Amino acid sequence: MSKVQMKSGMSNAKGIQNVQSQKSAASNKTGQQTDRSGKTAAVNPRKKPPGGNDPRKKKEPPELTELKIQIVNMKSQVLDLENSIRQQHDELENYKTENVDLNKQMTQFVMEKAGKSRDSVIVDLNQQVEKLQKQIECIGKEKTEIQADKELYMTTLSKYITEKTPDEMPDIPNMEENIRPTKIADMFNQVYQNVWPRAYEIANEKLNDEKLSCIYLLTIFKDSWEFCCALSRHQLHILEMTYLVPYGPNMSVEATFNIPQLSVKNLKVVKETRKHIAKQTIGNLYGLFMSPESGTGTKDIPSELEPYVRSCLEVCWYSAIQDPPLGFVFDTGVSWELDTNYFEMFTKTGIYVDFIVWPAMLLHNHGVVLQKGVVQALDEKSHRPQQ
């Protein structure tokens, strides 16, 4: 390159710098204005001239504007939902805390009231149930006794109104002589409580087996009952024939034909008369029962058991001459399931019956229970006895 060209380039560069300096000074002068007070104020060179449009700014489409509005609304809804969820979560935590407190209070209340463990509470409830059952039994006995008294007074009143014969029975009979079913039930219970234990000791000394000893004593009572029932029916038949058909010393009732029957009213008088002399009759029952002609299967009874046998005969005779006769339950049916309505447990607990120790007494056959019996219980049915 020649020196002339280098000088020409340098002069051009200086000229360009001078032009740029003049433009910068001009822009600084135009960027300031003088207000009325003489002060200069900055003027925004990008400010649109009045009434003019900014060519760099484009107009937004209406769809975009609508979407922006929707986005803003949705953000607001999301905030509202978050606030609601936060509030519900706080309420749920409060409910949980309150529930825990209530459970603690309830547990404390129950423990304070009960003051005992669950098993102890169950035992107490069972004892209360047993107590109520005994009260129900006592009420039932009282009801039966009142019913018996009512029937007796009604019978007495009927006799007083219809008969009025001085040679007949007294208008008001002695209540102690005319033994009632409830009193017989008390006698029956006294035999088991007071006489049976000694009889069991005597029987067990010979048999040396609890089950055999209990069954042996039960057999004596059952034979006594069957003996008294048969004797009661025979005696009533003889009394009826004696009243209706007089016969001589060489005659028998069986030889008489066309024997009539007493009326229900007169037969009741005979039955009542027999009740009044029952105490004298009982004194002769032991000898008849032990005689070979009685037909009972307990002739090998040792003499040590005589008090027990006499007590059984007394209860059975009073029971047999009632109208209708009382009833006894000597078995538990085919299933051998323990029925607590009729029996109590002896020395073991369970739901099945091993053997019967003492029978249950009923007001009559299939009637209400006057006195529960006693059985030896079993847990498993497979051990059902062969009695």
What is the DSSP pairing of strand 40-42 with strand 352-358?
unpaired
- Which 8-state DSSP code applies to residue 261? -
**What pLDDT does 142 receive?**
81
Domain boundaries, the chain: 67-172, 181-246+258-382
Structure tokens at 134: 């005994």
Task: Name which residue leads in pLDDT, 353 or 147.
Answer: 353
Q: Read off the tokens for 315.
A: 């209860």
Q: What is the arithmetic mean of pLDDT over 374-378? A: 93
Residue 29: Cβ within 10 Å count = 8
Rounded to the nearest 10 degrees, how much is the dihedral formed by the CA atoms of 205, 209, 215, 216?
-30
Q: 98 to each of 111, 300, 382, how far by Cα in Å?
A: 20, 79, 54
> How do 32-34 and 40-42 pair as beta strands?
antiparallel
The Cα–Cα gap between 207 and 198 comes to: 14
CA distance 123 to 251: 70
- The residues, any chain, with a CB within 8 Å of residue 114's CB and separated by 6 or more, are 120, 121
- Residue percentage of the chain with pLDDT more than 90: 32
185, 141 Cβ separation under 8 angstroms: yes
Q: What is the pLDDT of residues 72-129, one digit of tens each?
A: 888 888 888 888 888 888 888 888 888 888 878 777 776 666 555 666 767 778 888 8
Are the beta carbons of 216 and 206 closer than 8 angstroms? no
Pairwise pLDDT comparison (172 vs 375), residue with the higher score: 375
How high is the pLDDT of residue 115? 58
Whether 279 has a pLDDT exceeding 50, the answer reads yes
Distances (CA, A) of 279 to 179, 228, 275, 314, 343: 10, 14, 8, 8, 30
pLDDT tens per residue across span 220-252: 999 999 999 999 999 998 888 877 777 666 666
